Structure 1
C-alpha cells in the first residue's frame, strides 16, 4: 500500500492504476467510512507540521494546498483528477460526489475517513487579493459561529443542523492561492479533536491537494468547474491519444469526457453521488 503524504514525491511503482467508470446517475448509496486497522496496511499518515496560528504563510513554499504552477509542488501524476483540483490517495478513504440535480454537473466532493469527513470546493478569486477574509466574515454572522486559530490560520467553528434534528460541529478552513480559494469543511473528530489521528490525516490530505484554476474567465466567488473523476490511467491514455494525433497540446485535458465549462453558481442545489474506492486507487463509481 502506498500513501502520498504531505510534500513528498510519490513512487509510481507503488500504485496499481485502474480506470474509473462514468458518474452514476442513480441515487447515492451509503458510505460506511471503514478504515483498515491493520498496521501493515496503514502506511504513514500524511505528516503536517503546521502550528496553530492566526495566519497561514507556508502555502506554495514547503506546504500546500498547492497551485498547479508552483515550483515545488508534489508529483501528482497518480492523483485523481477532479478538474478544479487533483486529489491524493489515502488508504481507507471514500469519495462522495456532489452533482447538480438537473445538469449532472459535478460541483463538490467529500472525503470520508473513519468517523470524519472533509468537503471540498474551489472558488475563483481576484488577482490582487484572497477571498477567505470576506467569506469568513460572512460566516461569523451565522448563529453559533466563532473564530479559532488553527493549523491553516484563522478557522471557523460552526454548528450545523442535519437530518434527524441533530446538530454537528463543523470546522471550516480555507487557503487562498493564485486567483483561487480552496475551502474545506471538516466534520467528526477532524472538527472537534485536534489530537485525533483522523484530524492529522485529513489536515495532511487537505495540504496535499493540487488546485488547477485554469485560464477561463471566472468572477470572484464562482466555483471553479469540476468534472467526474478521471483516473491516472485515463489521463495517460488521453495524453497519448493527443500525442498520437500530432497535436501540440501539453496534456490530454481537452479529451476528458464531460468536462464542463464555467462559471457555476455556488448556490445551485446539489445531489450527493457516491464514488467508492477499490484497491490502491479511487477506481469505482457506483
Structure 2
C-alpha cells in the first residue's frame, strides 16, 4: 500500500473506462499536491524547543521523581549524584580562595562533559533565559535542536589560539536547571559512541536541589565527592548511634576528600581556579 493509502494500481489500464482513468489521474495529482503542501508546512514550522522527557521516561532526574532510578551506587556531589560509566575520568572544579566546589567535568575518550546545577524559580524554567543571554553575549553561538531540546553550538577560544567547538544543553527541573557543556566528539558528531555514552550519562544524573533559599542562577551548593561505600558507612553508623540512644541522626556531609581512586576506571582530582572560565561562565 502506498504512503497515503491509495491502494494498488490496476495492471491493465485498457480495462478501465477512459473517464475512470482521467478521474483517477486527477485524484492522484490532487493527493500529491496536498501531500507536498503538508510536507512543506512541516518543514517550515517552528521547531519545538520543549524537552518533554525529563521526569517521565528519562532524566536528568530529581530525587523526588516517582520513577527516579536507584542512585545508591552513584557518586554524591551534593547538588547531584553521578552515575557510573566505565572508563571515565572525573575532575572537580573548585574555587582557590574558598575551596568551594563549583562543578565537575567528565572525560570519556576524546570527549568531555562539564556539569553544573543552578537554582531556578519555582514557577518557570531557567534554560530559555540563560540560552538567550549566551546567544546575545556570543555572536558565534547558534541554536540547534537536539536530544535535550533546544541546544547551543558555541565555538570557544582557548590558550594557544585554538578553537574548541562545544554543545551546551540545559534541562529544567523542579526549582533547578542542569547544564551540560559537551566538547570533543560529543559536541560535533551525533553518531559517535562517545556522544551516545555521554548523552546517556547526562540523562542519568539525579539532582538534589535541597531546601536552602537560593536566588535564581545561583549554583546549588556542592561538596567533595562522597563514594557510595562512604555514604553507606555513615548511614549505618548514624543508625547504630540512634538505636543506642545517642545523638540525633546527623545530616552534615563529610567534607573530606575520598581516599584513593573511585575504582580502577575512575579517578578524582581537584582543579582549583581563580574564576570559572569561559566554558562554564555564567552570563547575568
CA distance in 1, matches of 2:112, 2:267: 19
- Alignment check: 8 A CA contact 1:93 1:112 kept: yes
1:182-221 to structure 2, matched below 5 A, reads 182-221=178-217
**Residues 1:279 and 2:242 aligned together:** no
Find the structure with the greater CA-based Rg: 2
In structure 2, relative to structure 1, the CA distance for the partners of 1:143 and 1:284 (3 Å cut) is: closer
Higher helix share: 2
Q: Counterparts of 1:22-171 in structure 2 under 5 Å? A: 54-141=49-136, 142-171=138-167
Kindly indicate whether the alpha-carbon contact (under 8 Å) linking 1:235 and 1:253 is maintained by their aligned counterparts in 2. Answer: no
The residue aligned with 1:15 is none
Structure 2: stretches of 5+ with no match in the other structure: 1-46, 271-284
Assess if the C-alpha contact under 8 Å between 2:131 and 2:152 holds in 1. yes
The secondary structure found in structure 1 opposite 2:242 is: coil
Residue 67 of structure 1: how far off its partner (Å): 0.1
Shift in Å, 1:221? 0.4
Judged with a 3 Å threshold, the aligned counterparts in structure 2 of structure 1 residues 118 and 179 are, in CA distance, closer, same or farther, namely same
SS of the counterpart of 2:84?
A: coil
Distance 1:150 1:285 in 2: 31
RMSD, matched Cα:
2.2
Q: Which residue of 2 aligns with 1:175?
A: 171
Residues 123, 182 of structure 1: 8 Å contact kept: yes
Structure with greater contact order relative to length (CA < 8 Å, sep ≥ 6): 1
Give the number of aligned pairs.
217
Shift of 1:177: 0.1
